[in-house]
Amino acid sequence: MAPVGIVLGVVVLVVLYGVFAFNRLVSLRNRVDNGWSQIDVQLRRRYDLIPNLVETVKGYAAHERELFEHVAEARAKATGAQGVEQQAQAENVITAGLRSLFAVAENYPELKANQNFLALQEELSGTESKIAYARQFYNDEVAKLNTAIQKFPASIVANMFRFQPRPFFEIEEPARGPVQVDL
């Protein structure tokens, strides 16, 4: 009777561990999904702002047509992007395009004084830093999930229930503003 009891005990322990590991993996995966939807919200916000910005700049710098087309094209590509890697690539193009758009704006003093433009500029840089923070959160959660999937013995549970490691969302780090620090 005793050996049966021991075997039974071990089985119960293993099952309990399996349930625990499974639940942990599920909550990690949900956090990654949540992180991704945060990024998505901010990316969409940026897509909405771009046409406004282009229209405003056009009013002052109509002959920069090539640049406008480039930005619009990048935006179209990004809205249609599938999967994390493709999205990241498309976002890099948009970020670069916006950066040159703002660089061009530097040459037009009236544009730089336009209230609408200033508000858009704040909105866009705010959205850009939110994208960066959302990405940071997402990548941290992805790292936790991927580690949990690879670690033994949880890896067995992960394999059994087909938990997949997720890709990191990698875009070029936006340049921080100048800060004077005397070291």
Partner 1 sequence: MYEQIAANKRKTILLLLVAVVLLGAVGYAIGIMYGTGPGGLVVAVVIALLLQLGAYSYGDRLVLASARAREVSLEEQPRLHNIVEGLAIAAGVPKPRVWVVPEQAPNAFATGRDPEHSHVAVTQGLLDIMDRVELEGVIGHEMSHVLDRDILYGTIVATVIGAIVLISEFFMRAWWWGGIGGRRRDSQNGGGIELALFAIGLVLVVLAPLFGQLIQLAVSRNREYLADAQGAMLTRYPPGLISALEKIRDAPHAMRSANNATAHLWLDQPSRVPGQETGRMERLFSTHPPIDERIKRLREM
Q: Is 183 in the site for partner 1 (CB under 8 A)?
A: yes
> Distance (Å, rounded) from C-alpha 160 to C-alpha 53?
49
**What distance in Å separates the CA atoms of residue 78 and residue 87, rounded to the nearest whole number?**
6
Asked if 181 interacts with partner 1 (CB under 8 A), we say yes
Q: Which stretch binds partner 1 (CB under 8 A): 10-18, 30-38, 97-105, 154-162?
A: 30-38
Q: Is the peptide bond before 165 cis (omega within 30 degrees of 0)?
A: no
Half-sphere exposure of 41 (CA within 13 A, CB side): 11
Single residue of 44, 133, 164, 172 touching partner 1 by CB under 8 A: 133
How far from the centroid of its chain's Cα atoms is residue 87's Cα? 9
30 lines the binding site for partner 1 (CB under 8 A): no
Size of the site for partner 1 (CB under 8 A): 24
Nearer to partner 1, 93 or 123 (CB): 123
Tokens standing for 156? Answer: 């067995």
For partner 1, the binding residues in 153-172 under the rule CB under 8 A are: none
Torsion of CA 23, 29, 34, 40, to 10 degrees: -170
Binding mask 93-122 toward partner 1 (x if CB under 8 A, else -) reads: --------------------------x--x
CA distances from 24 to 63, 145, 158, 162 (A): 56, 9, 10, 14
Say whether residue 134 binds partner 1 (CB under 8 A).
yes
Q: How far is the CB of 126 from partner 1 (least distance, A)?
A: 3
Contact residues for partner 1 (CB under 8 A)?
Answer: 31, 34-35, 38, 42, 119, 122-123, 125-127, 129-130, 132-134, 136-137, 176-177, 179-181, 183
